[in-house]
Amino acid sequence: MNGNNGQNSFERYLLAEYQNIAEAHFRTIGAISAFFRYYLLIAALPITLLGVLIGFTSAQYLPLSLQTLFTFWPIFSVTFLIVALVGFLVLLYIVNLRMDVLLYARTVNGIRKYFYDRGEIDIDTALRTRVLPQSPLLPSYTEKAYFMPVILAFACFDAFYFGLAIVMPRLGELSQSHLSLSSIVQLPHYLLFVILAFLAFLILHPISYFLYSRYREHAYLRSYSLGVDIDGVLNCHREHFCKLLWENCHIRLKPNAIKVIPVHENPRLGISRANEKQVFNDPRYWTDMPALPTASEELGRMRNAFRLKTYIFTYRPWPAQVDKEAYRAWIKAANDMLSKYPYSPPRLSRLRCLRGVFRFVTRVRLEHGKWRLGLSPLEVITRCWLEKNVFRYDHITIEPGSDYLSDPKAEVKNRFYISRKKKIRFFVEDDSDKASKLAYVCDIVFLLKQPYNTSRDLPNNVIRVDSWEDLYRSVRGLS
C-alpha cells in the first residue's frame, strides 16, 4: 500500500513537473522572439540615423556633407564596432535560451515516455496515436534547418557592422586628403584585410553555435568522470590498522569489530585517540598498506571501457605533532618510496626526459621546501603507493581541509567542492556520511561494503556494492 502511495505521489509530481516545464518552454520561446526584435531595432538604428542625416542635406551639398560626416569617423567606427560585438553577445544569449528550450523539450519527452511505458495500450496503438517523441535525447541541440537561419541573420548584420568599423578609418583618411573613392581599389592588401576580417567575424557566429551545441550535448549537466576515495576503497585499511595497533600498542583487535570510523569513537573497543595517533604516525602504516584485491584491475577496466576520467581523493593530515627525529623518519620513508616506485603526473607519463627532472624537484621540495613550495612526506608516499599498486588516474587531491565539510560557502577544496566543480558523475565511497552528502552532488554514489557503513538509511542514488567486480557491473549497466 505504501508502495502504491509512493508511486502515485511520484506520478503527481511528474505531472506537475510536466506542466511547469511546458510553461517554461513557451515562455523561453517568447523571450527569444523578444530579444531578436530588440536586436533588429538596435542594429537598424545607426544606419537609420545616418540616412536621416544625409536626407536633410540637398543633393548639391551631398558630397560636402559626406565629407563632413567622414571627419567624425572615430565616433562611427566605435559605434559600429559596439553594435557588432553587442550583436554577437546577444546571439550567444539567444543560443543559450534556445538550448534551454531544447532541454525542456527533452525533459517533457522523458516524462511522456514514463507514462506511455506504463499505459495499458498496445505498442501499435501507442505508435499510431503518439505524434511527439518520447526520447530524452531528442531533439538535437544542433538545429541546422530550424535555428541556423537565425544564426546567419545575426552573422550578416554583425559582420556588416564589423566591416564598416574597419573601413571607417580609411574613409576618414580619404576625406582629409581629398582622395577619390577609387583610390581604395588601389590598395589590394587593405581590401584583402577587410574581406578576411568580414568573413572571419561572419564564420565566428556558426562556429560558436556548434561549440555551444557540442557542449550542451556532451558536457552540460553530465560528465564521464569517476571519483574514488582511497582508504577503505582501494586498500585494506582495517586489517592493516589492527596489525600496526598490535605492534605499536600491544592491543589486539579484529578487523570486523571496527563498526565505527574513527575507531576511537567506538567506546566498546577501548581504543583511545592516542592509540590511533600512534598507529597513523608510523610511516609503515602508509608505506606497507595492502591494496584491495582486484581494485586496480577493475578500476583500469572501467577507465578503458567507459572512458571515465578518474579523480582520486584522500584526507591524510599526518604526521601530527611529531619531533624532528620522527619527522626525519617520515622524510626517509618518502625518499625510499620515491626511489622504488617513482611517480609522475599523468601528463608527464609519456615524457621520460621530464620524469627524472620531476623526481629531482620532488626530492628538493620534500627535503628543503618551505610553505607552499614544500611537500608533505605523506603526499609523496600516497602518490608512490598508487604507483606501486598500479592505480591509474587523471587527478589526485590530498584534501587540505575538512573532508566532511560539504557547504559550498566554505569553498574547501575537498571531494565535495571538486565534485561540484568537475561535475563528477560517479563516486566510490566507504563512509556512509560522506556518501549521503555526495548524493546531492553526483548522479550515483557507490558505497563499498564495510562493517562500519551498513546501518544507515541512504538516499536512493546511493548504491551499495559488495566488491569492485560488483561495482564494475553496476557502472556498466548505468553507462
**What's the average model confidence in pLDDT over 261-270?**
88
Query: Which has more confidence, 476 or 400?
Result: 476
Q: Given pLDDT bands bounded at 50, 70 and 90, which one contains residue 479?
A: confident
Would the pTM count as exceeding 0.85?
no
Residues 178 and 249 in one domain: no
152-166, 176-190, 370-384 — most confident range: 152-166
Residues 348 and 235 in one domain: yes
Q: Given pLDDT bands bounded at 50, 70 and 90, which one contains residue 239?
A: very high
Residues 152 and 288 in one domain: no
**pLDDT at site 242:** 96
pLDDT greater than 90 at residue 427:
yes
pLDDT greater than 60 at residue 60:
no
Residues 109 and 188 in one domain: yes
406, 416 contact by CB (below 8 A): yes
Q: Given pLDDT bands bounded at 50, 70 and 90, which one contains residue 28?
A: confident
> How far is it, in rounded angstroms, from Cα 233 to Cα 450?
9
**pLDDT at site 431:** 94
**pLDDT at site 191:** 76
Distances (CA, A) of 393 to 290, 316, 475: 18, 19, 17
pLDDT greater than 90 at residue 117:
no
Which of 221, 238, 262 corresponds to the end of one domain? 221
Query: Which has more confidence, 277 or 50?
Result: 277
**pLDDT at site 14:** 83
Residues 295 and 279 in one domain: yes
Residues 211 and 102 in one domain: yes
pLDDT greater than 80 at residue 131:
no
Query: Which has more confidence, 401 or 471?
Result: 471
Distances (CA, A) of 129 to 124, 132, 133, 291, 354: 9, 9, 11, 57, 64
Least confident of 54-68, 153-167, 417-431: 54-68
**What's the average model confidence in pLDDT over 461-465?**
95
User: For the sheet containing 426-429, what is the strand order?
Assistant: 395-398, 309-314, 225-229, 426-429, 444-448, 462-465
448, 430 contact by CB (below 8 A): yes
**pLDDT at site 61:** 45
Percent of the chain clearing pLDDT 90 (strictly above): 43
Residues 191 and 313 in one domain: no
**What's the average model confidence in pLDDT over 214-222?**
81
Residues 266 and 190 in one domain: no
Q: 596489525: which residue's cell?
A: 243
Percent of the chain clearing pLDDT 70 (strictly above): 85
Domain count, the chain: 2
Report the CATH number at residue 423: 3.40.50
Residues 200 and 281 in one domain: no
Residues 25 and 150 in one domain: yes
Strands 395-398 and 309-314: parallel
Neighbours of 198 (CB within 10 A): 17
Q: Given pLDDT bands bounded at 50, 70 and 90, which one contains residue 350?
A: low
**What's the average model confidence in pLDDT over 182-193?**
64
Residues 342 and 216 in one domain: no
**pLDDT at site 173:** 60
In the numeric block, which cell numbers belong to residue 326? 620522527
**What's the average model confidence in pLDDT over 298-323?**
92
pLDDT greater than 90 at residue 206:
yes
**What's the average model confidence in pLDDT over 162-170?**
81
32-41, 58-67, 152-161 — most confident range: 152-161
Q: Given pLDDT bands bounded at 50, 70 and 90, which one contains residue 200?
A: very high
Which of 195, 221, 247 corresponds to the end of one domain? 221
Distances (CA, A) of 236 to 33, 116, 420, 439, 455: 60, 47, 28, 24, 20
Q: 536626407: which residue's cell?
A: 55
Tens digit of each residue's pLDDT (9 = 90 or more) over 379-417: 999 999 999 999 999 999 998 877 777 777 667 889 999
In the numeric block, which cell numbers belong to residue 89? 553577445
**What's the average model confidence in pLDDT over 43-57?**
66
Which stretches of 178-187 are DSSP H helices?
none
Is there a cis peptide before residue 262, judged by omega within 30 degrees of 0?
A: yes
- By residue range, what is the domain housing residue 133? 2-221
C-alpha angle 41-47-52 in degrees, rounded to nearest 5:
110
**What's the average model confidence in pLDDT over 39-59?**
67
pLDDT greater than 70 at residue 62:
no
Which H or E element spans position 463? strand 462-465
Q: Given pLDDT bands bounded at 50, 70 and 90, which one contains residue 185?
A: low
Q: What is the largest CA-CA distance in the chain?
A: 109
Neighbours of 115 (CB within 10 A): 13
CB neighbour burial string for 452-463, b if at least 16 within 10 angstroms, e if fewer: bbeeeeeeeebb
Least confident of 38-47, 84-93, 429-438, 462-471: 38-47
DSSP for 349-392, please give it: TT-HHHHHHHHHHHHHHHHH--GGG---HHHHHHHHHHHHTT--
Neighbours of 479 (CB within 10 A): 13
Which of 221, 254, 280 corresponds to the end of one domain? 221
Sign (positive or negative) of CA dihedral 51, 57, 62, 65: negative
pLDDT greater than 70 at residue 63:
no
Residues 163 and 247 in one domain: no
